[in-house]
Chain A
Amino acid sequence: MMWALLVAFGVALPAAYYAWLMPLEVGDMDPQLFERGIGSPLLAWLNGYLGVLFNYRYLGATNWLVLVPIGMVLATWRRRAPWQRGLVVFYTAALALIGAMGGFNYRYALTLQPLTVATTCVFVWRAFDRKGRSARERGAFVAAMALLGVLNSAASIHYHFRVASVMAAPPPEARPGATLTERLDAGPEDLERWLNAHGVRPTDTVLVNNLPVWYYRTQRPGIYFWCGSDQLFLRDGTHALLAGRSMHEAASLLRDTLHCRYIFSTGELSALSPPFTRFLDEACVPLATDPKGHTLHRVKDTFGR
């Protein structure tokens, strides 16, 4: 009965997750939180703090099963061997640390994936043995785990396509009909030629919005910037570009103090910061957008040209 309930829960929660809980559009949410899948308090717990267990989009459908052996050790704490207690303390501490420090980032949450899967598999195997269940029943349960994982991945991919289908301008890698190379290569094509074609000389300093590809593919000078936190990364540390400044003052800082006339970004990155998007609209002139969504802007001069 308990095993059947576990399977039922294992099916019901991801079904609800994809059908109702996960939004397709940003709506009223903060764009960055939406992009990370933590745009509401409930999602912040599911995909964030408890992302190791419940971030179905990226981490599988059965990780939460590890809570069963953890719960059993906690319920019988005094009778447990020190190593079992230690392991539970470590796993719980790791869960809390990863959840608190960036559980929404599935790559961090993947840290515990091998341990979670191995622990769950061994627990299920031994539990079926101890309860005197047949090898057939045991096999059926672990096969259901694996099948649930496969179905969950299909649902996750379907969800990503649904999100892309309602985007006004989906990124190139998510566009319907994109080839494998287009899906895998989101980088700019021949950056040097593109910059030269739009009048950016090799000695011109460019504001680089969180795109280290600039430094990897060119030898050109840049000013590293991240619009999401409004920080310029300079020789003496970080400084705000927009906070506490009018659009005119921010443009003046770039142009007159930092001697920087151009901005290299992507539409997707810029959209994560409404103030930066407003700055691009009001204080800059769009020069070009490449097929991969990279954008080039020129800061307007003092006469607004």
Chain B
Amino acid sequence: MDERLHFLLVLAITNIGMGGVVAALLLRWNSRLRLPSGAVVLLGLAMGPFLASLLLYHQLLLLPGRSAMAVLGTSVGIVVGLGLMAGRGWTALGRLLRAVPALLRDDVWMRWFAAGTLLMLGIATVLLATKPLVDHDVLEYAVRGRWFLDTLEVTYERHPFDARNGFYYVGLHGHSFPLLFTWDGLWQRFTGATGDLWPRSITLWYTWLLIALVWSVLRQWDRALAFVGVLTMVVPFGFALLLVIHHLDSYRITLFTAMVLLVLVLRERPELPLMLLFGAVLGAQAFIHSTGAILGGVLWMLWLVMHPGPLRVRLVHAGASAALALAFGGVHYVLDTMIGTRWIFKDIIWF
């Protein structure tokens, strides 16, 4: 299959399909969560590629050495099951999508947002055509992802050394980003395509989601403020570089920002369903990067201190959110610290 067709296939399955499944699931439960529908859809889309990496992680950790077909089939089966569970969430998602044309027609600021989205699409096309994987960190993740693909297992060891070629993985962080390369590689085994267009597109996809998330939050105060706020956020030179280095930063920052926003909702409604979602997003953004693991841990502890409920409720909420955070990838750091590289407790080297 042509590399570009393969890219569109994986994009449709993972970003749109799996993101849509999570969005529909969250919308189904939104009668309990009571979050703004637009933000729920953005969070769902953000969880799509993440879900792919999480499903791979648990399979390669708990059931190592299975065939590529079995790994991919299990992932697809679980996602289809989740899609069926979403039930009436799909109806809600459809209703939201049908409302978009009217929103664009009636709100001039949303037309600015649409223009920005088209600009992003143009930038994405140019970058994907001209910018290969050349930057240090992302190549580390890519090589690690291929290593997972070759062995189809996740192991923990003091020195992650690949005896086949002398590669030593110096990364500190959760395996989510490397596993996206593995995910793409698994699909390549079926399509016969080569290249890395899809993992390279992840940065751009999440940059757009991050912009949309900040836009949707600031829009609650004022539509013009959303425009100015997003402009202020995107014009720094560092943000432009964030677009062109195919790194995982927009991926982790999007989910980190979503986690903090969830805490702001929790202050008004410290309810168990929201606490569970907070735990899941905490684990997700931790599984992408150590910064998220550390800051997420700090935020989790702070929230429990600030929690207005009685001790019993606090303990239930703490336990439930911690369990979800571990299941959504936080367990990586426990294993890495205990039986792996010792995570941040080893001698950290700055590259």
Contact = CB atoms under 8 A, between A and B. Distances in A.
Interface of A: 55, 57-60, 62, 82-83, 85-87, 89-90, 93-94, 97-98, 101-102, 106-111, 113-115, 117-118, 120-122, 125-126, 139, 142-143, 145-146, 149-150, 152-153, 156-157, 160, 180-181, 184-187, 205, 208, 210-213, 215-216, 219-224, 226, 228-229, 231, 233-238
A235 B158 CA distance: 10
A184 B130 contact: yes
Contacts of B222: 125
Contacts of A55: 238
A187 B245 CA distance: 12
Contact of A110 (B136, B146, B238, B299): B238
Given A102-B350, A149-B231, A220-B165, A107 B170 contact: no
Contacts of B303: 86
8 contacts: A94-B295, A94-B298, A107-B249, A142-B228, A142-B229, A185-B131, A215-B167, A222-B165
B237 A156 contact: yes
A107 B247 contact: yes
B166 A114 contact: no
A142 B131 CA distance: 34
B349 A113 contact: no
A205 B127 contact: no
Given A110-B239, A216-B139, A90 B298 contact: yes
Nearest to B138: A212
B99 interface: no
B67 interface: no
A146 B165 contact: no
B37 interface: no
Interface in B291-339: 291, 294-295, 298-299, 302-303, 305-306, 308
Given A125-B222, A146-B235, A82 B295 contact: no
A115 B165 contact: no
A219 B143 CA distance: 11
Interface residues of B, number: 69
Contact of B349 (A94, A156, A211, A229): A229
Interface string B14-31: 000000000000000000
Contacts of B233: 60, 113-114, 117
Interface of B: 126-127, 130-136, 139-140, 142-143, 146, 158-159, 161, 163, 165-168, 170, 210, 213-214, 217-218, 221-222, 224-225, 228-229, 231-233, 235-242, 244, 247, 249, 252-253, 256-257, 260, 264, 267, 291, 294-295, 298-299, 302-303, 305-306, 308, 347, 349-351
A291 B305 CA distance: 57
Contacts of A94: 295, 298
Contacts of B253: 110-111, 113-114
Given A145-B228, A149-B232, A235-B163, A114 B349 contact: no
Contacts of A221: 165-166
Given A90-B298, A109-B238, 12 more contacts: A58-B237, A85-B306, A90-B302, A93-B298, A110-B253, A114-B257, A126-B221, A153-B237, A213-B134, A224-B170, A229-B349, A238-B347
Contacts of B168: 224, 233-234
Given A106-B241, A111-B252, A98 B225 contact: no
Nearest to B142: A216
Contacts of A62: 232
B124 to A, nearest CB: 13
A145 B260 CA distance: 24
A113 B239 contact: yes
A234 B161 contact: yes
A222 B242 contact: no
A243 to B, nearest CB: 14
Most buried by B among A55, A59, A111, A185: A111
B238 A210 contact: no
5 shortest interchain CB distances as A-B pairs: A58-B238, A233-B168, A187-B134, A83-B267, A60-B236
Given A58-B238, A111-B252, A213 B229 contact: no
Given A110-B239, A122-B221, A125-B221, A115 B167 contact: no
Contact of B231 (A93, A106, A146, A210): A146
A120 B236 CA distance: 16
A266 to B, nearest CB: 11
Contacts of A117: 214, 229, 232-233
Nearest to A91: B260
B133 A216 contact: yes
A303 to B, nearest CB: 27
A253 B311 CA distance: 61
Contact of B210 (A114, A211, A226, A229): A114
A107 B238 contact: yes
Contacts of B225: 121-122, 125, 142
A210 B351 contact: yes
A275 B165 CA distance: 27
Contacts of A150: 235
A86 B305 contact: yes
B238 A216 contact: no
Nearest to B233: A117
B222 to A, nearest CB: 6
Contact of A118 (B166, B217, B294): B217
B218 A122 contact: yes
A97 B214 CA distance: 23
A219 B302 contact: no
A85 B134 CA distance: 43
B231 to A, nearest CB: 5
Given A125-B221, A142-B228, A237-B159, A184 B257 contact: no
Contact of B295 (A111, A157, A211, A213): A111
Contacts of A235: 159, 161, 163
